[in-house]
Amino acid sequence: MSQQLLNQEVEKLASQTKESIQNVQKIALSEAWKILQLTTAIVVQRIENIVSDLAGKDKKQLALNSINGFYDTVFVVIDIPFVPNVFEPIIHRYVKSVLMIMVGSSIDATVTIFKSVGIFKKKEETS
């Protein structure tokens, strides 16, 4: 049930993002990364609030899966500077792979920051 609620939240976020960038034909790689960073923070926080019965590594995998789905929904084409348009579709999947690796690290950093500033309480504090 909680994973279904998370999926609905991510779908809503993807829909809002698509609406806000609907007039943009291509998104620059740097802009895509900024959007993914914001999405990561939102998804991590939603998972912490909604899915309390999973271990940290399982929450991370859930976050990666959700953000991967968000990426597929929102980013049709990412503009890569200095690469001819004809080659962009060919390397697009590699760009996504690199971005998703970066998202994995960003999830870890986000959780650490949220814990250190008190957004997430440590397990012993909530007992």
Within a 10 A sphere around the Cβ of 56, how many other Cβ atoms? 10
Domain extent listing, the chain = 2-121
* Alpha-carbon gap, residue 47 to 72, rounded angstroms: 20
pTM, two decimal places: 0.80
Q: What does the pLDDT look like over 12-56, one tens digit per residue?
A: 888 888 888 777 767 777 888 999 999 999 999 989 888 777 788
CB 70 within 8 A of CB 14: yes
75-86 per-position pLDDT tens digit: 876 677 777 878
Count of Cβ atoms closer than 10 Å to residue 46 Cβ: 18
Contact 9, 75 (CB under 8 A): no
